[in-house]
Amino acid sequence: MKRHLLSALTLGLLAGVCGIAGAADKASASKAASGIATEYVDPSVRAQDDFFVHTNGKWLATTEIPADKSSWGSFAKLREDIQPQLRQIIEDAAAAKNAGAEQQRIGDFYASFMDEARVEQLAIAPLKDQLARIAAIGDKKALPELFATANRYGVTMPINFGIHQDNRDSTKYVADFYQDGLGLPDRDYYLKKDDAKLADALAKYEVHVAKMLTLAGDANAAANAKAIVAFETELAKIQWSKVELRDPVKAYNKVDIAKVGELMPGFDWNAYLAATGVQGKATYVIVSQPTYLQGLDKVLASTSLDTLKAYAQWHLIHEAAPYLSKAFVDENFAFYGTTLSGATENRPRWKRGVSTTESALGEAIGKVYVQQHFPPEYKARMEALVKNLLTAFRQSINTLDWMTPATKKEAQAKLAKFTTKIGYPNKWRDYSALTVKRDDLVGNVWRAAEFNYNKELNKLGKPIDRDEWLMTPQTVNAYYNPEMNEIVFPASILQPPFFDPKADDAVNYGGIGGVIGHEISHGFDDQGAQYDGDGNLRDWWSAADHKNFKAKTGQLVAQYSAFSPLPGYNVNGELTLGENIGDNSGLAVAYKAYKLSLKGKKAPVIDGLTGDQRFYMGWSQVWRMKMREPAQIVQIKTDPHAPGQFRANGTMRNQPGFYEAFGVKSGDKMYLPPKDRVIIW
């Protein structure tokens, strides 16, 4: 069961593989004081011409992406640094004698993953019964229950759903049904026949599907793989684009639960809803893409039952592949790790074991992580930073020249209702209903998926849980949730280069301050601004404000659409608009907050850099990263974030303070005329 509404700092397939190498070097005292990795500055590239390369050039020139990564930069480096800490917590649990129930669950889950001999012995056996049940289906009338069962275990099917707050009544939970079902990252991989790289990936995907089916014992694997790809291509044709999916108003289609089946007369929605468990818990649902369901009805009718069964078996195998024998793991990595992402080696088994255990028992591990690695003073300093950023944003609203007074009043009311969560939740998740067996890896994965599914399903009809976190404390990320109107900063992001407790304030305002501002700004980006302070989808803007805002966001779309990280692949300015607003507005507000923090005093010069220069370099070094070409294509097609170099340079070009700090003038490559600079919040 997936959730797809929050705006995070980093999202998508690449979220686990981005970050900064080389920062493992211990900085000198002066570098620690400034917080700027001056050893990576390339003085041969002017800050006024390419600020990203100026700040990070020596790192870019000397750093190799690790073989088991598709990209490398500040996020991935932090995640990599945290892995040994999590491993120690988990292995201590696995080795503990007389362990408590929660500790034993952690230890047993990890032990089941690390028992490679048993995994090899079992081979495909853990899936035999499920594959046999699919093979035994004799009529399309069984599809609703098949889809619902797959949803329960996190297996991809053409229909999926998530539980979240009703966009127009944030006091209630609702089931939201949406399009799904592809094995490739985006519909363009199926439909863009004139793109040689995407066409090559599609051809290799068909070969991969055939290989996986063969490993599972399918004697007709090649023909089935061809049919599966053809079926998924038909799904791609009727799916909404990533840009269309960003429109919360268009996606809000409230349907009486008794009438939802009218969208698909050939599909028994009553049976599907009963099998999902939604039936009886809700009187209405949200259908995010009604035209997709209408199209799906026709696609299912025209597709043979044998193809649909092979499709279901393939996605079951794909979901389980990382937990099966080496042949499945290697083939799965060869396609998804190498062909699509460019990595040449799989991660060591212990790292994969840590990740899998975390996905099942994340908060149980996070509770120990916080005790061991998150000092209380970090939270206190972060609270002060957030308070300053909110003050700066409040002042910024008052000075806007494009917003009417009535709308400013509404914006202030929304800002006043922001909830901030820092470090870790007030109450920890109860895992007592999750059964974990030390000798049953696949079973543990399925039970964990069903445990999470039931947790979400059981929200229907219940009060909103405002203490819930959607990320664990050890997640290197941050997010804004428009339905809760909350900004959330897990403990793990509060480390250099984002947050350095030993550094001067300038770099922290440019780093974590920019991140805080980014998340606050999501409440007022082109999506978040459609929600009010209570988390309801409601238009609180005047016609004049809409017109002015659209003019500014149109400029931002044009700016970012001109950026090209690879020949022939430009950034999608519409897909990345919300995150680009977050970056540009967030950094602008962070700069104002930094100035407020100085209280009229002049910032010290450290490492030969003024406070303003360190502020902007702090932002630029956060986005220090390199990415392999296949992964870059996936990011462009699927990720609502622009590539790192444009999150740095694209943002800088719109910041008046940057021009002053580095003396940027007409003729410099970073220069934009004042009329072309986009200043929103």
DSSP type of residue 246: G
Distance CA 7, CA 527 (A): 9
CA–CA dist 359, 355 (Å, integer): 6
3-state secondary structure of 564: coil
Joined tokens for residue 352: 């994969």
Q: DSSP assignment, residue 376?
A: H
Residues sharing a CB contact under 8 Å with residue 657, sequence separation 6 or more, in sequence order: 591, 612, 615, 616
- The separation between the first and the last C-alpha atoms of the chain, rounded to the nearest angstrom, is 35
Q: What was the pLDDT predicted at 31? A: 42
Report pLDDT for 5. 56
- Cα–Cα distance measured from residue 556 to residue 558, given in angstroms and rounded to the nearest whole number: 5
569: Cβ contacts below 8 Å, ≥ 6 apart: 632, 633, 636
Determine the pLDDT at residue 45.
98
**pLDDT at residue number 377:** 87
Average pLDDT per 10 consecutive residues for the chain, totaling 681 residues: 57 30 32 83 98 98 97 94 97 88 96 98 97 98 98 97 97 98 98 97 98 98 98 98 96 97 96 97 97 98 98 98 98 98 98 98 98 91 91 94 95 97 96 97 98 98 97 96 96 91 92 96 95 97 95 97 97 97 97 95 96 98 97 97 98 98 98 96 87
Helix (H, G, I), strand (E, B) or coil at 177: strand
The torsion angle over the Cα atoms of residues 505, 507, 509 and 513, rounded to 10 degrees, is -130
Whether the CB-CB separation of 35 and 496 falls below 8 Å is answered with yes
Contact between 6 and 481 (Cβ < 8 Å): yes
pLDDT at res. 96: 86
CA distances from 383 to 331, 376, 487, 513 (A): 46, 11, 12, 11
Q: What are phi and psi of 459, to 5 degrees?
A: -70, -30
Computed from CA positions of residues 265, 268, 270, 273, in that sequence, does the dihedral angle turn out positive or negative? negative
Question: Do β-strands 284-287 and 169-179 pair in parallel, antiparallel, or remain unpaired?
Answer: parallel
Read off φ and ψ for residue 487, nearest 5 degrees: -115, 135
| Domains of the chain, earliest start first | 7-84+388-428+461-676 (3.40.390.10), 125-323 (1.10.1380.10)
pLDDT of residue 356: 98
84: which 2 tokens? 């040994």
Contact status, residue 282 vs residue 254, Cβ threshold 8 Å: no
DSSP states of 281-344: TBSEEEES-HHHHHHHHHHHHHS-HHHHHHHHHHHHHHHHGGGS-HHHHHHHIIIIIIITT--S
